Structure 1
Amino acid sequence: MDMTLKVTSALSDPTRYSIYLFISERKQEVSVQDIAEEFHIHPNVARLHLAKLEEIRVLQSEYVKTGKGGRPGKRYIPSEEVVQLSFPPRDFRLLSSLTIASLAKLGEEGFKALVETGYEYGKSLVNPYLQSHNLSLIELSQAEKLHILSEISTSIGFTLDESMTDADQIKFHYDHCPFNENAQLEPMFICGLHNALLKGMFETLYSVEEFKQEENMINDCSTCRYHVIVTN
């Protein structure tokens, strides 16, 4: 309960919450000075906000040599630790771990069921978004489709970064697996689920000729990287 109160108290401050979002989306280490300049606040205030975010374990820090002599500077990055809040207390991570373990025991049939569920869920995310924003699929430009994919992906924990887009090719990657804990236990199942979910989203918005994962964090790559060929 003490940790729950600390987390809710720390993130209730609008500036502090904005700082956390900025760092988590940037995915690069930042200094106190970076935050002070970005949010137009005094470095001492920035340091206090960062310390509070580190205290609730949504950020972690390390000392890095600046190359300018003197003491190493402190740098902050998003924490790999998951902070979960629920009222009343519920351990949904345990539920998800048990569910994945149960499907894994079914072998190929379990994997197939998980992939089919992920694909259908990915497709189901798109139409409600279009309806809520009064958008027609046939009238969307590629840039608008990419924006929709990015927004929906962010809402479920994937922050997609585009590296190349043209008339018929899209390359994108993400750097933080939103279900990293489960992926470490059953990597093939979780990766299959993620691929199917993203593919379902793409195939609802585009006619997809090829959907290929080129790199995978499970294989010690820095990102999960995809190459998609579309016909519209």
Structure 2
Amino acid sequence: MPDTLKITNTLADETRYSIYQYIVKEKKQVNVQEIADQFGIHPNVARLHLTKLTDSKLVSSELENNKKGGRPARVYFPAEDPIYLSFPKQEHRLLLQWLLELVYSMEEVAIAKAKEISYQHGRAIIENITFSTQSFESKIELLIETANAIGYIPQITENEGKKNITFSIYNCPYKNQLHKHPELVCSLHESYLKGQFDALFPTNRFVQMESMQDHCNNCVYQIEVL
């Protein structure tokens, strides 16, 4: 059980929270000097922030041998198990596990219905928001906003000359469920995203390029707006 007060105190510092977001988004090992350079702070201050994040189990660390010789250096990376906070305490994870196992046990009919529900929910999230403008840029901003609201940290790039969007998800909020039901979880997740993109861009080609199921660092989708 996480120490709620310790976690909230750790993330209350704006710089420390930004460092935590950076580590999660980059999803790679970082060291004290990289954090110091990235945030324009002294290495000792960076080390203090990283130590507090490690103590709260928000990130993990280990010693790595120095390829140039000398003492091993400590590196930091996202914690394997995500931290969940709720007030009061709620067991959504257990309920999610039960429902996934139920759907999986009922096979094709239940899976198809679950995908339909997740798709419609994704559409509804977008359709219930009043657009200030209909420009391509404003739709992208809305997509980023809705992604952040449910725990994604997306990176969206637009290829020059074409309305091709690369949508990368670095911290899948469902990664703990991938060990038991990876295909089911990913298909529901993809249906939800497809619903959002269809609501924003009625004519599009939606293709998954990379998946965490294939031991990639993140899930990457490419969407061509037709």
TM-score (norm 1): 0.86
- Could you list the runs of 5+ residues in structure 1 that have no partner in the other structure? none
Deviations 1:16-63 (A, max 9, x none): 222212222232322112222333333222212111111111101122
Q: Paired residue for 1:106?
A: 106
Is residue 2:142 matched to residue 1:148? yes
Give the secondary structure class of the aligned counterpart of 2:179: helix
- Quote the offset at 1:128 in angstroms: 4.2
Q: What amino acid maps onto 1:135 in structure 2?
A: S
Aligned to 1:135: 132
Alignment correspondent of 2:118:
118
The aligned amino acid for 2:144 is: S
Structure 1 residues 156-187: Cα deviation after superposition (integer angstroms, max 9, x where no partner): 22222345534243333323322011222211
- Deviates most, 45-54 or 5-14: 5-14
Q: Name structure 2 gaps, 5 residues minimum.
A: none
Q: Percent identity?
A: 36
Query: Is structure 2 residue 177 aligned with structure 1 residue 182?
Result: yes
The 10-residue stretch of structure 1 (79-88 or 186-195) with the greater mean CA deviation from structure 2? 79-88
- Residue in 2 aligned with 1:15? 15
What is the CA distance between 1:66 and its match in structure 2? 4.2
Q: Which residue of 2 aligns with 1:208?
A: 203
Q: Secondary structure at the match of 2:153?
A: coil
Greater Cα shift, 23-32 or 109-118:
23-32
Match of 1:48?
48
Superposition TM-score, scaled by structure 2 size: 0.88
1:82 is matched with 82
Moved more, 162-171 or 112-121: 162-171
Question: Is 1:167 equivalent to 2:162 in the alignment?
Answer: yes
Q: Provide the aligned C-alpha RMSD in A.
A: 2.2
Deviation larger for 213-222 or 81-90: 213-222
Count of aligned positions: 225
